[in-house]
Amino acid sequence: MKTIELPSRQKIPVLGMGTWRMGENPQHRQREIEALRHGLDLGFSLIDTAEMYGEGGAEEMVGEAIARHRSKVFLVSKVYPHNASKKGAIAACERSLKRLNTDHIDLYLLHWRSAVPLSETLEAFQTLQKAGKIRSYGVSNFDTSDMKSALKLKGGESICTNQVLYNLTRRGIELGLLPWCQQHNIPVMAYSPIEQGRLLGNAMLEAIAHEKGATAAQIAIAWILHQKNVIVI
């Protein structure tokens, strides 16, 4: 799998598996675990999750899925904004580590910005990084002005990514955020690359896929991967 080097010098795969809406229904748990393990067998070593997903259920499910593969997995998780104070983020990370059954998270993100001062969140992230609990940190759902503000704060220079909505029908970040991140060498992580499945019925996309001997999902994902310094979840 091709990788991108984060500002922290960590190498992250350009394509990974997301877990939004997983860990919510106990009846689906085994199927979800098997799906992640199948992805790992196929070479998808990047897994993205969050304490919000299934209120911790997704992290628990991921922890079980990667139990025998942790050394091969690049693990991303996110802290709830209301937990993102200095003490709150450290405690939330400890809970995530326990659910994930691991001693570190490779990349830890603030899920979105809130009333909690960003300076506190960055201070917590630096503390966690020094303690070896997280390897790198970043943000999610930040716009350009949020990113500019973040980089002015202590610890802001170590923000390694911004995870945002980006696909063929959601291209707003191209107007400012994407080029700004590219200029500052901050990789963008694109989530919902096939718009939760809604893109797959697009007639034009289906026609291109047929011409190329591929699926609509493969074309949609390949288009994002073609963009500079972008990772796809």
Active site residues: 53
Cα→Cα distances 166→31, 58, 126, 133, 178, Å = 27, 22, 28, 29, 10
Assessment of whether the complete model's pTM goes beyond 0.85: yes
What pLDDT tens digit does each residue of the chain (233 aa) get? 999 999 999 999 999 999 999 999 999 999 999 999 999 999 999 999 999 999 999 999 999 999 999 999 999 999 999 999 999 999 999 999 999 999 999 999 999 999 999 999 999 999 999 999 999 999 999 999 999 999 999 999 999 999 999 999 999 999 999 999 999 999 999 999 999 999 998 999 999 999 999 999 999 999 999 999 999 99
* Residue 153 phi, psi dihedral angles, 5° rounding: -90, 155
